[in-house]
Structure 1
Amino acid sequence: MSWNIGQQVNSAPTGSTENPDKIDIADLAEPVLTDLQKQTMAWADANPVSLTEKALLEAARQATGLSDFGDQGFRQHMAKWIESTDADTELSALGRIGVFGAMLRNLTVRLRIEDMVRRFPEILDIEIDRPIIIAGLPRSGTTYLQNFLGADPRLRALPYWEAIRPVPGPEERCMYGEEDPRRARCAADWAQQDALLPYVKAIHEFAPDHISEDIELQTPEFGSYHLDWLTHAVVWRDHYFQMDHRPVYRYLRKCLQVLTFLTGRKRWLLKCPQHMEQLSVVNEIFPDATIVINHRDPVASIQSAITGVAYSSRVTRTRVRPDRIAEYWIDRYERLLRACVRDRDALDPARTVDVYFHELMQFPMEIVGDIYAKADLPLGDGMRQWMTDALTHHPRGKNGQIVYDLRRDFKLEPDDIRRRFGFYFERFGVKAEVK
């Protein structure tokens, strides 16, 4: 069966959970747009956004009725987001709207976080007690592992709908038993994105109840690598590697304090790939955390990342350049993993667990047992059964499995990429997967 965007390898419909399809996106370099994609891009061209600091700050004030953004240090980073986006001359009008929307959302989150702390200053006294923090490359089993641990009622994970709107506005409050308006809004946004780019969910799901990365709670400080996923962010990337990341992680902690105040005290379960390059900062800001580091053949992660970026580029860019995407992200991964190798041995071994993808897939409960031992959490038979049951509702590949072809789509040999990461294979017992 042929499709406008890609080629369906099996005959079952996309998204089947009983027999998930192999999805081969055969037109990455020269995309064939659907009517909806064409219409959406045409609408964006006719409705350009003003991506300026003044326009963004005023829009956030208008959206919330608030004006206090707290400490102004975030503004230098926000200015670099804008400068970097403006420097990306091949970003489409729709891509610019996406950046504007992300920046506006994070500014409104910041206004509401600061408003909560102003009205309830005791929030800053809340202790974030012994969180479990997962670091690991995308597609290294971090979500799989987090779904295990998230079944534990003693732990507090972060659903995507709450991560992107952690504090409800006055119009978003709901009665007990009703759906939170923030979740309903997130579901509507996800349905719209899914209609526009239906294969995104097979690469990285953004459904409302999907456990989120805590990058969403770093971005109100405009210090995360979130912009890298939205644009060709050379200006931002270079600024990112020169900045002090401690304020970013302090703001993450402040967001967790606000959420704890709103929803009750539990041990936090966090996850973000970015933590791999900020291990010393994570350790400083969360000194009693159990840090879990997932490891996998970086080529397996890179092929997923660059395929996803190339696929989304059909609407976010005026031109899709797979070679440029690959060059950017291979370099980005190398920087991240060199930082991980540099800082890993400075962590307290009593609070740190290295998890290898091939072992996690074979012996998941043994891995969980190791983590719980380091985290000083008992793991009884009942908890093991809960965790096992949780995975039946979150099977890997439930939204279909993307066919990755580095040679066809990016003109790259897996072994050539892997040679860039010899330092990582020498330090960790990672097995090569992609041939």
Structure 2
Amino acid sequence: MTDIPLWVSIVAILLLLVLSGFFSGSETALTAASRARMHALEKSGNKRAIIVARLIEYRERLIGALLLGNNLVNILASALATSLFLRNFGEVGVAYATLVMTLLVLIFSEVLPKTWAIANADKFALNVAPIVRVLVIVFSPVVAAIEVIVRLVLRIFGLKIDESAAVLSAHDELRGTLDLQHKEGGLVKADKDRIGGLLDLAELEVSDVMVHRTKLFALNADLPPAKLVEEVLSNPFTRIPLWRDDPDNMVGMLHAKDVLRAIATIKGDMEKFELEKVMSPLWFVPDTTSLQNQLNAFLKRKAHFALVVDEYGEVMGLVTLEDILEEIVGEIADEHDIELPGLKPQADGSVIVEGSVPIRDLNRASDWNLPDDEATTIAGLVIHEAKMIPEERQIFTFHGFRFTVLSREKNRITRLRMMALTPLQDTQKTAK
């Protein structure tokens, strides 16, 4: 080493520091690069994006090759620096070499390139990908051997690494991204709710969004034709289920347009109105059907309306295409609708809400975060948390709200007053 000129050693050390910075920056950029953006560029034919996607796909091999290269150049640079300082300062040169190389590696080979890479991750990754691919191929045998050794050592300590195991599902990653973008101001609440609603379709069942049988508008098929037509035309619903003999015995469905066409055909002579020719067959779906499957079924059958039945075949309610779409885009109101019916804000800051209002609608309308895992309606949430059917004027406190039961019919809570608690108040569940 003593034969190596001083300037050669300095140039070699600087070159090795640059290579170390390259390895550090490449590792940061390739692990931080947006997989979604790379996928979009890959589809558009960007060759470097294709390379990045392949490198990210084999992330463990990629990181192993970069760490191997980084350690090689860092150790070599430190050895050269130690030799250089020993020649010029004697034994104390080891301490000088350690101090100087620590500072140089930390600043120029770690912090600086990684800061640069994280600030321009996608661009940096695209630029270094062709070179990194070659390095991964060259170092592949050594990295593979290192992986085997690492797994064997971990197995000795009872740890097993599953390469195929994902820490988060794709849905969880998307939800995390949505929340982060909304928090940072990159995504407005309405857009966050729409995308989140789309992700929820696979997790929700039709029973979560259906109109319950207690609110189901249906007509007796045995009504006189004139009265039946009058009822059809006087209500805001386009599709109306029909029952016969017993309200639970659903026999068909009337579409308002079909009724109008029939009336036009018979020129208003109700004596000639034949219900059987106008009535359509009903479609029954299980209450456990996911919204995603039901949406696909609606689109496939070109239908908008289905009755929901439980495991015993009893009618529980009805679900429409609009109900499912509202889970994505929010409440769809027309001239006959009230924006979130059953919710009345009060002057004192409280809210009077009907017990049958769905929790999801409340959360979306008021930007709350009430849990809807164990109950669908706000009344169901109160009963679930209270572990009883409350009496009128009884008060409960949980999930950051004070709930006052205003009215109850038999075993159903029909109206509640909700008041948000201040952060200083206890949000644990209590009952008075």
Q: TM-score, normalised by structure 2?
A: 0.20
In terms of Rg, which structure is larger?
Answer: 2
Q: Which has the higher contact order (CA 8 A, sep 6+)?
A: 1
Q: TM-score, normalised by structure 1?
A: 0.19
